[in-house]
């Protein structure tokens, strides 16, 4: 098992290192890979980035305890993906090229008139904070997996996991991240299709008997609302479907759209992406259910997938499982550390110090930032503050509330003012945090009120403030013909921003 896992680690590291060779040594190269990625790389990378260790650890735990009703997340994610790939991606890519935006934060800064950089800094801080939470969650998921499968010290498992990923990110930047994502995505797909199919068909008596057994263990496992009724059921369904609402506005996913080669890439990528989300959500749901049948009395359901794997599978296959879980973790962790680094090194630091750094200095600042962020995430994870499931959802909701509605309004309208944007970016996450810490969270997932309030605040504050410059930029972007901005320059010359 360890041999297989070790082979996976070596392969990923080599892929990351080779990817480094082909990219340009500019900020554009480091952060968006020179915008040269085609549909397969864009879609699988977006999917793998999106799908973190949460899918194997957190989501599986959710379906372990709550049953088939957690599949209600799927229509929400389908809607979210459709929104991302058809409503957000084409415009974001084009406007990103027109504005030479290297990140979501950069896009907002250039799309809206933000001379002092307050918007940029605020957006960057919000991104960094929530990403640290999510990165800590990934490391916790790594710890759960490793300590279950092999006799390895939990603390070291965490530290080494962080170190490994930071390693290939430092070497290759965004291109390394994307190509390792693709590798990791393929492994995840194989496991998420193969494992449930094998277990249900060969070990658990086929589909009919499988669901029958589940019903026998606890009828709520096959109920439509996970055993909740009335208002709680409504909240349960709304929250489940609401997860997918968080898709637009997630900075690490938006990065994939900014780096896509052209419009055709986006269109072709959408089918691959839809295949991805359906397979992954269904697969993880079945993982949890299978776990409940095989091991109905686990004290911590987050351990279900690794526990079942060692119990049921040949050690070589368990090694593949270990690799797949790490693939999920690392693909998300790497993307988030990239974007968080960019937020701090490129967005906050450059704006605050107003110094012009040359490319080599920026690379070094970026690398130091990356290591620091990895260290902070490791400390948060070691503190054991929250479980994987909760931390990821929290981060997801916070970022969705901060950026989702705002991004949509900026892409399609010209009415958003700098002040409106700032209000949304601050109020959205505040609502999320307040909701989580109140009793309301038992009724509805915190993303729903966060997004709704954020949207209203952006609209209201924009209406009440004046910002002609932002409106002009908006008009210019909305008026330009669709294909005018889609030419890709392979090595854009970057004068300092």
Partner 1 sequence: MNEPLLWILYVVIPVLGFVATALLNWRADRAGR
For binding to partner 1 (CB under 8 A), which residues are involved? 68, 71-72, 74-75, 78, 81-82, 85-86, 90, 211-212, 215, 222-224, 263, 267, 270-271, 274-275, 277-278, 282, 482
| Inter-helix orientation angle 89-99/251-258, to 10° | 70
Q: Quick one: 278 or 430, whose CB is closer to partner 1?
A: 278
Contact 82, 92 (CB under 8 A): no
Task: Give me the least distance between CB of 244 and partner 1, in Å please.
Answer: 11
Q: Quick one: 77 or 168, whose CB is closer to partner 1?
A: 77
CA triplet 60, 63, 66: central angle to 5 degrees? 150
Task: Give me the least distance between CB of 214 and partner 1, in Å please.
Answer: 9
Q: Quick one: 166 or 241, whose CB is closer to partner 1?
A: 241
Measured CA to CA in angstroms, residue 421 lies from 23, 340, 365 at distances of 34, 20, 28
Q: Quick one: 24 or 223, whose CB is closer to partner 1?
A: 223
Neighbour-count burial of 231, counting CB atoms closer than 10 A to its CB (0-12 exposed, 13-18 middle, 19+ buried): exposed
Task: Give me the least distance between CB of 281 and partner 1, in Å please.
Answer: 9
Q: How far apart are CA 2 and CA 269, in angstroms?
A: 34
b vs e for 210-230, b when ≥16 Cβ sit within 10 Å of the residue's Cβ?
bbebbeeeeebbbbebbbbee
Alpha helices by DSSP H, 295-387: 304-312, 315-341, 350-353, 359-383
Task: Give me the least distance between CB of 217 and partner 1, in Å please.
Answer: 12
For residue 483, which phi and psi values (nearest 5 degrees)?
Answer: -95, 0
Q: Quick one: 271 or 440, whose CB is closer to partner 1?
A: 271
Q: Quick one: 70 or 341, whose CB is closer to partner 1?
A: 70
Q: Quick one: 283 or 429, whose CB is closer to partner 1?
A: 283
Task: Give me the least distance between CB of 90 and partner 1, in Å please.
Answer: 7
Q: Alpha carbon 331 to chain centroid distance?
A: 9
Task: Give me the least distance between CB of 68 and partner 1, in Å please.
Answer: 6
> Could you write out the three-class secondary structure of 459-476?
HHHHHHCCCHHHHHHHHH
Q: Quick one: 26 or 224, whose CB is closer to partner 1?
A: 224
Task: Give me the least distance between CB of 184 and partner 1, in Å please.
Answer: 23
Task: Give me the least distance between CB of 35 and partner 1, in Å please.
Answer: 18
Rounded to a whole number of angstroms, the distance between the first and last alpha carbons of the chain is 49
């Amino acid at each position: 098992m360890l041999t297989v896992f070790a082979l996976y680690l070596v392969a990923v590291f080599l892929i990351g290192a080779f990817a480094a060779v082909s990219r340009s040594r500019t900020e554009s190269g480091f952060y968006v890979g020179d915008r040269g990625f085609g549909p397969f790389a864009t879609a699988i990378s977006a999917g793998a980035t999106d799908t973190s260790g949460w899918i194997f650890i957190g989501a599986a735990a959710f379906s372990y305890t709550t049953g088939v009703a957690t599949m209600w997340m799927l229509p929400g994610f389908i809607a979210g993906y459709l929104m991302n790939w058809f409503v957000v991606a084409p415009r974001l890519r084009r406007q990103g090229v027109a504005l030479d935006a290297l990140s979501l934060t950069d896009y907002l800064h250039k799309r809206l008139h933000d001379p002092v950089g307050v918007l940029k800094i605020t957006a960057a801080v919000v991104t960094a904070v929530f990403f640290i939470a999510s990165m800590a969650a990934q490391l916790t998921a790594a710890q759960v997996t490793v300590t279950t499968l092999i006799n390895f010290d939990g603390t070291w498992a965490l530290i080494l996991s962080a170190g490994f990923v930071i390693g290939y990110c430092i070497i290759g930047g965004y291109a390394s991240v994307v190509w390792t994502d693709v590798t990791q995505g393929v492994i995840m797909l194989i496991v998420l299709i193969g494992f449930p199919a094998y277990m249900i068909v060969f070990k658990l008596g086929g589909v009919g008997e499988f669901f029958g057994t589940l019903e026998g263990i606890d009828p709520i496992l096959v109920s439509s609302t996970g055993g909740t009724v009335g208002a709680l059921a409504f909240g349960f369904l709304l929250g489940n479907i609401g997860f997918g609402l968080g898709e637009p506005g997630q900075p690490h996913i938006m990065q994939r759209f900014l780096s896509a080669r052209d419009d055709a890439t986006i269109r072709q990528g959408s089918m691959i992406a839809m295949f991805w989300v359906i397979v992954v959500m269904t697969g993880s749901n079945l993982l949890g259910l299978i776990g409940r049948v095989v091991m109905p009395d686990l004290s911590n359901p987050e351990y279900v997938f690794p526990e079942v794997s060692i119990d049921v599978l040949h050690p070589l296959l368990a090694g593949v499982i270990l690799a797949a879980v790490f693939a999920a973790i690392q693909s998300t962790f790497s993307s988030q550390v990239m974007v968080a680094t960019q937020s701090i090194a490129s967005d906050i630091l450059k704006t605050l110090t107003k110094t012009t750094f040359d490319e080599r200095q920026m690379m070094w600042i970026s690398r130091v930032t990356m290591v620091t962020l990895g260290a902070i995430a490791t400390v948060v994870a070691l503190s054991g503050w929250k479980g994987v499931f909760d931390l990821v959802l929290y981060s997801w909701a916070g970022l969705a509330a901060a950026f989702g509605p705002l991004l949509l309004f900026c892409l399609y309208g010209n009415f958003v003012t700098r002040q409106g944007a700032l209000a949304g970016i601050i109020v959205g996450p505040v609502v999320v945090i307040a909701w989580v810490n109140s009793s309301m969270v038992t009724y509805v997932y915190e993303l729903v009120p966060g997004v709704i309030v954020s949207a209203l605040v952006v609209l209201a504050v924009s209406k009440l403030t004046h910002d002609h410059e932002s409106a002009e930029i908006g008009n210019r972007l909305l008026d330009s013909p669709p294909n005018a901005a889609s030419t890709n320059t392979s090595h854009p010359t970057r004068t300092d921003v």
